[in-house]
């Protein structure tokens, strides 16, 4: 999936709370994300939720409408949802965690950080070793883009462990949506 540079926000706007668009890519052969969500970016970043379930949707143009419908006490906060500010390209992250390489687009750290935030917001529990693996690779990718070096020389977790941890987060959210446990995929007006 091609990486489209996230929107940039002037520093003076970063002090105020904003709704920001999240893009989630799961299929490496698809040129556009499968799912979108919105994050209320403030002192504590929180995804748009309904009844403690994360709201995902397939048409990014629906973001303002869904914020108006479900935004609760933050419904009047400004929106920056024309273009994704957060990019969770699971497919690209899995590629780098499997094969190594230089992650020039920061796909691993972006995907892992979003997944960790979604897991935390949903209240989903993941195994402690998986959580530690995700935090370790996110910390590493904050200072280095060389995934080959992590996997072959300096990392505490193997490629298999990292892939497992990412898949655990992605699959939990994708599958639970079908079962109604942790997310809502809303494609049309009810």
Q: Which tens digits make up the pLDDT trace of 7-50?
A: 445 444 456 899 999 999 988 888 889 999 999 988 888 899 98
Residue 174 in this model has a pLDDT that exceeds 50: no
Residue percentage of the chain with pLDDT more than 70: 82
Instruction: Identify the pLDDT of residue 28.
Output: 85
Tens digit of each residue's pLDDT (9 = 90 or more) over 85-113: 988 999 999 999 999 999 999 999 999 99
Average pLDDT over residues 59-65: 94
pLDDT band, residue 176 (cuts 50/70/90)? very low
Asked if 162 and 152 touch (Cβ cutoff 8 Å), the reply is no
Asked if 170 and 115 touch (Cβ cutoff 8 Å), the reply is yes
Single pTM value for the model? 0.79
Tens digit of each residue's pLDDT (9 = 90 or more) over 126-166: 899 999 999 999 999 999 999 999 999 998 999 999 999 99
The candidate with the shortest Cα–Cα distance to 59, out of 23, 20, 85, is 23
Instruction: Identify the pLDDT of residue 40.
Output: 93
Between 37 and 184, the higher pLDDT residue? 37
Radius of gyration of the chain (CA): 16
């Amino acid at each position: 999936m091609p990486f489209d540079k996230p929107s940039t926000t002037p520093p003076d706007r970063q002090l105020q709370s904003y709704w920001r668009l999240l893009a989630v890519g799961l299929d490496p052969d698809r040129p556009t994300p499968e799912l979108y969500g919105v994050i209320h970016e403030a002192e504590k970043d929180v995804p748009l939720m309904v009844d403690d379930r994360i709201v995902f949707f397939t048409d990014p143009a629906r973001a303002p409408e869904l914020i108006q419908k479900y935004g609760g006490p933050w419904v009047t906060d400004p929106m920056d949802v024309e273009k994704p500010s957060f990019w969770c390209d699971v497919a690209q992250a899995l590629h780098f965690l499997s094969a190594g390489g230089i992650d020039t687009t920061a796909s691993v750290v972006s995907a892992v950080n979003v997944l960790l935030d979604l897991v935390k917001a949903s209240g989903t529990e993941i195994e402690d070793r998986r959580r530690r693996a995700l935090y370790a690779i996110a910390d590493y990718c904050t200072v280095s883009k060389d995934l080959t070096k992590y996997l072959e020389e300096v990392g505490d977790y193997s490629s298999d462990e990292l892939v497992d941890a990412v898949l655990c987060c992605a699959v939990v959210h994708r599958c639970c949506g079908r079962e109604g446990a942790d997310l809502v995929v809303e494609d049309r007006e009810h």
